[in-house]
């Protein structure tokens, strides 16, 4: 159960347009936003940043979610792993590729371009970062500099989100909880501190 109670949606009327955008993209409004609602100025600024980084850009949105998933796997945030795994499929990533993303270096389901981005996600998410010139040399074979910055921005955004949600033990919503339990469980995923009290047990 989360350490800080979420703000009721009815108390955040000014954010209905924002919440609608999240509902259209994800199918629900993340509980993390309602917790952030204790500081509406933070919620507003954060939503703008998320929109710029994860929205349509020069890098495929499905790949950006896989990058976020791998980075969140390194950080150990089960909340963000569940979110990015389920959201990747909303952007057209096949379920078997989501389930096998941890094996991207060996799997033939991933292209060389995707491997270079996922390798950076895996190594840059470590503390301290293990990103090296070799990572960027590999990336430059497939991505221009603007695209590379977009990939690094995703990794960096989830550095914040991983710490935020793991520290606050944000409750998982039903949809990502069910998706991750079904498709990431064989890789060892479980909700841990993000298990909502009402769920009782993992589906």
Q: What is the CATH number of domain 61-191?
A: 1.20.1290.10
pLDDT per residue over 23-63, tens digit each?
Answer: 999 999 999 999 999 999 999 999 999 999 999 999 999 99
pLDDT per residue over 56-104, tens digit each?
Answer: 999 999 999 999 999 999 999 999 999 999 999 999 999 999 999 999 9
* Contact predicate 60/148, CB 8 Å: no
Joined tokens for residue 153: 């921005």
Comparing CA positions, the residue from 49, 179, 180, 70 lying closest to residue 120 is 70
* Contact predicate 67/121, CB 8 Å: yes
Tell me the domain boundaries of the chain: 61-191
* Contact predicate 22/50, CB 8 Å: no
């Amino acid at each position: 159960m989360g350490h800080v109670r979420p703000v009721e949606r009815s108390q955040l009327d000014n954010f209905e347009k924002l919440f609608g955008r999240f509902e259209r993209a994800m199918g629900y409004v993340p509980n993390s936003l309602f917790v952030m609602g204790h500081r509406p100025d933070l919620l507003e600024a954060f939503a703008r940043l998320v929109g710029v980084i994860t929205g349509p850009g020069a890098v495929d949105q499905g790949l950006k979610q896989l990058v976020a998933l791998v980075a969140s796997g390194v950080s150990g945030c089960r909340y963000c792993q569940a979110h990015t795994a389920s959201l990747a499929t909303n952007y057209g990533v096949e379920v078997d590729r989501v389930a096998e993303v941890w094996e991207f270096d060996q799997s033939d389901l991933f292209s060389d371009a995707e491997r270079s981005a996922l390798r950076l996600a895996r190594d840059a998410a470590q503390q301290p970062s293990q990103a090296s010139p070799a990572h960027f040399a590999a990336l430059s074979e497939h991505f221009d500099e603007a695209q590379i910055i977009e990939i690094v921005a995703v990794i960096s955004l989830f550095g914040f989100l991983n710490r935020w949600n793991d520290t606050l033990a944000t409750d998982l919503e039903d949809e990502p909880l069910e998706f991750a339990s079904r498709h990431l469980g064989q890789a060892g995923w479980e909700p841990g501190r993000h298990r909502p009290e009402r769920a009782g047990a993992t589906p």
